[in-house]
Amino acid sequence: MKYITDKQYAQANDYYSKSIKGKTDKETSTNDKVNTYLDQLLSDYINDNKSYDDTKTELKQLADLTPPPSNIDNALNQLSIISASKTAFANGQADMTAGNYTEAITEFYKVMEADSNNYAKVQDLITQANNSYKDGVMAEIQDLSDKKDYATAITKAQDYLNSNSNDTEMTTQLNTLKQQRLDQVIADAQSLANNKKYDEAIAELTQNKELTTDTTQIDDLITKYTALIPVNICDLNVLQNVDGIWKIDKVKDNYGNEWNNAMEFFAIDTTTENKITFNVDKKYDVLNGKFAIEQGDYKETVSAEVKIYVDGKQVFSKVITSLSKPIDFNINITNCVNLTISMKGKKLNIGSLVDAVSVVMADTTVFKNP
């Protein structure tokens, strides 16, 4: 062993060849002694009595012995593990000093049991880092809550719990933040709905459903606001229709106004009443829109009579001419099941209808009252 400890490896090989080789007991004893020496080298490195480079060099030289010690491969592998562990420990300490507690915890968890000195210290350091990290998160959450930025505060709490799932105090804090954010979302949605921005209100509620396991309140509000969104009459369920009435994507009236998604009524005589009936099934409270004469090159002043029926009862009637401005209407249709709109060409006192006439039902929607 003296040749080994003195690093006289050529002499060690020569001595082994002449005095030990072929003698089983001496081979076993020598191998055991060299393996023990490997352990000592690693222990010196662990305890900072020997550098990584010096330890690695000596192990490599021992690997070149004939025969090499039986544990040499394991010793070289352990050296790599311990080296990485020491680096992680040093990085963790630097992160602690810099206040980067999550990074420090990550590094400390890389410290291996083989690095016995640092492994003995690291458990307390992980606890310290966690406590410092939690204190910082709690302070951030309080500041964000004071600013009513509950969404960001929730993210901070959740990030902490991702690595500390058993922390009951933070779990309670997270639940409180979620309730505060839910109350805020509901208030914001109500404000949007008050300004008739129902789509935005619904989106706000839908995007924040994860705030609660019981979504009943949110679902009820979504249903309520959805019902308040005006529905274009062209999108209603048609129960009955006759020829001469159709939907039109774009049309101009006799004053040059352009309308999209309108309903057009066409008549060529004064005797036929063109009707269309929609099944609204008590879903809406108001019918709101305009009647106008379609833009055209009329030879004489032409006119038509338009009517609205709620479950068979006439509730609106107007005569509109090619000289008229668009006529507004706003009809109460609460509890209405079937809504009927009709148009008929009308004979004027000053003459007779000589041109076909088209009436446009424009910008017309049904909706519930808030």
Does position 242 have pLDDT exceeding 90, yes or no? no
Q: Which residues pair with 344 in a beta bridge?
A: 305
pLDDT one-digit tens code per residue, 131-164: 999 999 999 999 999 999 999 999 999 999 998 9
Q: Where is pLDDT greater, at 356 or 345?
A: 345
pLDDT one-digit tens code per residue, 197-237: 999 999 999 999 999 999 999 999 999 999 899 999 999 99
pLDDT value for 163: 86
Q: What mean pLDDT is predicted for residues 24-45?
A: 94
Does position 268 have pLDDT exceeding 80, yes or no? no
Q: Where is pLDDT greater, at 290 or 15?
A: 290
Q: For residue 128, give the amino acid letter.
A: Q
Does position 359 have pLDDT exceeding 70, yes or no? yes
Does position 21 have pLDDT exceeding 60, yes or no? yes
| Structure-token pair, residue 306 | 């338009």
Does position 102 have pLDDT exceeding 80, yes or no? yes
pLDDT value for 240: 80
Does position 84 have pLDDT exceeding 80, yes or no? yes
Rounded to 10 degrees, the C-alpha dihedral 75/79/85/87 comes to 180
pLDDT value for 101: 94
Does position 352 have pLDDT exceeding 80, yes or no? no
Does position 248 have pLDDT exceeding 60, yes or no? yes
Rounded to 10 degrees, the C-alpha dihedral 365/324/258/339 comes to 20
Q: What mean pLDDT is predicted for residues 241-248?
A: 84
Q: Which residues pair with 357 in a beta bridge?
A: 267
The CA angle 326-327-331, to the nearest 5 degrees, is 145
| Structure-token pair, residue 23 | 């003698």
The percentage of the chain sitting over the pLDDT mark of 70, rounded to a whole number, equals 97
To the nearest whole number, what is the mean pLDDT of the chain?
Answer: 92
pLDDT value for 347: 55
pLDDT one-digit tens code per residue, 273-326: 889 999 999 999 999 999 999 998 776 778 899 999 999 999 999 999 888 899
pLDDT value for 353: 43
Q: Coil, helix or strand for 158? A: helix
Q: Coil, helix or strand for 201? A: helix
Does position 22 have pLDDT exceeding 50, yes or no? yes
Does position 346 have pLDDT exceeding 90, yes or no? no
Does position 349 have pLDDT exceeding 70, yes or no? no
